[in-house]
A and B are shown apart, each in its own frame.
Chain A
């Protein structure tokens, strides 16, 4: 019983991590209708920046996390302004080719600079080990992830639903032309959103080094997971991708624990079935074009 609960908790932590990693993609792919397969590259950038700061420059872990966010967001906005924005109106095929190109470049560049082996981030002693809560073993690091990601999710939901920026973004996505007509600076909104999504991915990358493992092939390995979160979750709200990430996280952890040989098989099958059954995602509606 206790091991089931521990697994469940690990699954929740994993799922929340996936959500932070993928929610930027939920906006670009789900809302802006841009197929950005290079989303994982931003996560990898954040992870490596955090690793360099903590391991080589001796920064404390919690100070390096915000910087991973800021640096990835900066990279994101730079790329959006120079490259991505030319491709918003292109076909999906062009977008796929372009972002695959970016993934290849990032993989080789990181391999060149940092080497090809897996990298670890030195954690503060307070985050190591397990807590025992009513007899259920809970990893401290995973607990921290659940707390951070839970807060982020709440904040995102509030920003999207309650703030002026949130309503601008929803307007720009629903009908860009009408939004421009109403005086909303749509390119600016998109650029800001893209940067924020990249920043979140970077933060997720920094957090995930311990759990998912960080090496130059990170963007390729986890590309399918991010895509699953978005396509299964749909794009109508933050809640859809959030539930999808939790499902995926719990299913993946449980799959690896109980049927270790069939783990990936189950997940891909479920994804294909869901896509065929509900092409717009479990919780989705049609994405605006």
Chain B
């Protein structure tokens, strides 16, 4: 067996659809039909899941830490908002893609800054870029609307057929479809040889470079793709809420995103999706208990998760599903790949 066919068998084995995955998406679709009064919060979850998926691509697969992922979210949100506000592109789907591409361009340009240096420099640079964009958006308030945000955005019907309704039904199904398509794309990417090489880079960049991988080019590529995803998430935010304000760039957004991924687990695509669901539920719960001070409980969750250890928590969480799958399918279930930080 040649090395090439070895890689492709490995990749194909990993890329096979599992029963649990199909079940996950069926369940998601069922939820969308079962709770018609909950469209808005579910749209929120879908958006967050897409955003988390984006961070997972760079953090979980390529090992690039980022404290400023909201930069791309914000650029996507403002692009979509400005496109709709000035009637440049009225069709939401095309506007969505364009907004994603704008974020991708920014991602490509900033990737050269981010791939340099170690974790700490990366944290600082990504944080700095997000703050920079926030300062810029504030500076050019005649374009961005400043602290008031973009006002009076009116969305045209999707593909000219489905108008956004006030209950958020169109918004939810639109977001779900976008998420699913992008998820398929991400799934294809991470199970490709390209995805495998990313994991090699995450585990040991030096060794990956030694066997001939173009480490920097791979990192630039995945960073750009992640920026595209984040831009789409931001654009979805603007399109479904008809709103874009300065807080799309806020540090809290990037920090919350980290928490989402930490809850769900990094390095497997469902981490972000599951994390988004759990995070939103926690947020709802805390907000109903202490409306003003839910930040405290979110912080507590972060501290506890880190102290207990992320990997240990994922083993506990996956214990029951693994048990069930082992009983019924008679094989070892999918276990979250624990993220190993690059040395």
Contacts and interface: CB of A to CB of B under 8 A. Distances in A.
A83 B307 contact: yes
Contacts of A90: 306
Interface string B212-233: 0000000000000000000000
A105 B296 contact: yes
Contact of B255 (A100, A227, A269): A100
A29 B124 CA distance: 12
A114 interface: no
A32 interface: no
A101 B131 CA distance: 20
Contact of A102 (B127, B292, B303, B305): B303
A101 B299 contact: yes
Contacts of B127: 224, 227
A276 B123 contact: no
B124 A231 contact: yes
Contact of B65 (A92, A102, A109, A264): A92
Main secondary structure, interface of B, reads: helix
Interface in B269-301: 292-301
A227 B120 CA distance: 10
Interface stretch (B36-44, B99-107, B110-118, B324-332): B110-118
Interface stretch (B132-140, B234-242, B315-323): B132-140
A61 interface: no
B119 interface: yes
Contact of A94 (B120, B121, B124, B306): B306
Contact of B124 (A83, A101, A264, A271): A271
Interface of A: 29, 35, 83, 86-87, 90-94, 96-98, 100-109, 111-112, 220, 223-224, 227, 231, 261-262, 264-265, 268-269, 271-272, 275-276, 279
16 contacts: A83-B307, A90-B306, A97-B302, A98-B306, A100-B258, A104-B255, A107-B299, A108-B294, A108-B295, A108-B297, A109-B296, A220-B252, A231-B124, A265-B135, A271-B128, A279-B121
Interface of B: 59, 65, 67, 113, 116-121, 123-125, 127-129, 131-132, 135-136, 139, 251-252, 255, 258-259, 262, 292-303, 305-307, 310, 341
